[in-house]
Amino acid sequence: MGDPRKNHKQFKRPRTPFDKNRISEEKSFVNKFGLKNKKEIWHSEGYIDKIRAQAKKLIIHPEEQEIFFNRLAKLGLIKSGATIDDVLDLTKEKLFERRLQTIVFKKKLAKSLRESRQLIVHKKIKIANRIMNVPSYIVRIEEENKISVVKKQKKKKATEKIMEQSTEQSAKQPEQSIKQPEQLKQSEPQKIQEEKQEKK
């Protein structure tokens, strides 16, 4: 048997699959944020539900609230000085605004959200020195200014390859030129002997 964690879905399908209002709302989200499919919406809703559940548990543990709030503030989901009510009012739209795909588009590194997604999937976007290929990655506040496009490595042109080959050949030629004088020295005595024989 395989790992049970791999088979565990991280989202729940809607209870009313044919709700017209919900379907139209999901379509607008897909178009607005350039999503691949509706599963990304359901995944984000599940993520927000977990955050709300944690916030409700911390109502009776105020000493742990500050750590929880700081973690969400670093992700840019809430502002500093927020309360439990602010966390409970958190919407999936706020989460989508913090996605790497959305931020790459807002920083004008891509002309559209579709292009932004394509750049990320094809490993053309990096945060600091780390390449990111997950469009749904939640960008931290401190990481926003570290996002950039990976620079293309220039391929060597045919002329450059020819120049390299010629330099390699020229490096080998001096060795051959050194051998030539030795051959001339050997051939000179033979010529002298031939001339003497002709005079006789």
How many Å apart are CA 102 and CA 110, to the nearest integer?
10
Q: How do beta strands 125-127 and 130-131 pair? A: antiparallel
Q: Is the pLDDT of residue 3 over 60?
A: no
Q: Which of 67, 30, 43 is nearest to 137 (CA)?
A: 43
- Give me the pLDDT at residue 174, please: 55
Q: Please write the tens of the pLDDT for every residue from 99-144.
A: 999 999 999 999 999 999 999 999 999 999 999 999 999 999 999 9
Q: Is the pLDDT of residue 8 over 60?
A: no
Q: Please write the tens of the pLDDT for every residue from 19-62.
A: 788 888 889 889 989 998 888 998 898 999 999 999 999 999 88
How many Å apart are CA 117 and CA 119, to the nearest integer?
5
Q: Is the pLDDT of residue 18 over 70?
A: yes
87 and 64 Cβ atoms separated by less than 8 Å? no
What are the angstrom distances between the C-alpha of 145 and each of 68, 103, 126? 24, 10, 11
Q: Is the pLDDT of residue 1 over 50?
A: no
145 and 76 Cβ atoms separated by less than 8 Å? no
- Give me the pLDDT at residue 13, please: 72
- Give me the pLDDT at residue 19, please: 76
Could you tell me the pTM of the whole model?
Answer: 0.69
Angle at alpha carbon of residue 49, lines to 43 and 54, rounded to 5°? 130
- Give me the pLDDT at residue 56, please: 92
Mean pLDDT, rounded, for 143-165: 76
